[in-house]
Amino acid sequence: MVEIVFSESSCACLKEAYSYGRGPYPDAAPAMMHYGIRGGELLSEAEKAKIIQDHHEKERKRWEAAVPMEGSTGDVFDLGYSLSAGDISEEAFGEKRTDNLEQALQRIREGEPVRIWYSDNPDEACGMLWFLWKIHRLDISCNEITAVKLPGWIHEESTDTLKQMQAWGEMEPGLWGKLKENGHVLPQRFCEVCAMRWEELRRENAPLRAVINGHVVSVETDFYDRFLLDTFESPEEEVREGRLIGRVLNRQLGVWDGWIHLRIGKFIDDGRIEVVKESEADQIYGRILRKR
């Protein structure tokens, strides 16, 4: 089975899913540091031991409840081209991704079935449309194409936790094997319609593509701007850039931190956001910002 994902993080998670849950739980203590607890005092050794014990108990439950993926990590192909932003009129992409694509297509030509892991994350939704367009454009006859869409929420029974999901890169490795059962075979006509939709998006070649009501649509560069500006809690608030970016990401819009950083830079240039304090040399997104 050829497994298609659309980001490095989802590729790493899926590859881990082939071994996760096989054999006894590997009881290796994680490296843990604790700061800012109880007025800035470090935890006691007993408290640290309790945290590590609780961590292992949760991980053991996840491990024992996991359904490992069948096959091998060599079945997984990362075709993440970040297609939700930028010029999509050209067909050529980076050399590494192109090698992945050619290997995947060769195995498909040889008759292997395909499984696509996608979601309403713009990059993954665009990736699925593009991949079906590519197969259609090359006139490749597929034995079978299955698609697995990411659920909006995941209830992990082993730890009784509920998590809102945005992209496959966030998925616990032990859950891929279960969720693959949600896959459905794509009718040929559906694949053709997806290919035609991507061709339309290529002709429009907008700066951004977003998912609205389950459909990929072309949008302008400023589409997400109001969500960014609204995350300032008051006109007087001074907030670190990293925290501001985190607030936007928590809205589950499907944008990534680098894009938000670029838009913040544009707002600074336009005078809509001011830099109260520049970040230290070793800090990422460490500027202190205020909305004007």
- Average pLDDT of span 239-258: 86
- Which stretches of the chain are DSSP H helices? 8-16, 45-65, 95-109, 122-137, 176-179, 188-204, 225-230, 241-249, 257-270
Average pLDDT in the chain: 88
Q: What is the mean pLDDT of residues 198-222?
A: 94
**What pTM does this model have?**
0.85
Alpha-carbon span 264 to 27, nearest angstrom: 43
pLDDT in tens, 13-69: 999 999 999 999 887 645 455 444 555 577 777 877 787 788 888 888 889 999 999
Confidence of residue 120 (pLDDT cuts 50, 70, 90): very high
Predicted pLDDT at 169 = 93
Among candidate residues 254, 226, 278, the one with its CA nearest the CA of residue 83: 254
Q: Of 72-81, 170-179, 226-235, which gets the smallest average pLDDT?
A: 226-235
HSE, CB side, 13 Å, CA atoms: give it for residue 67: 8
Give the range with max mean pLDDT: 1-5, 36-40, 157-161, 256-260: 1-5
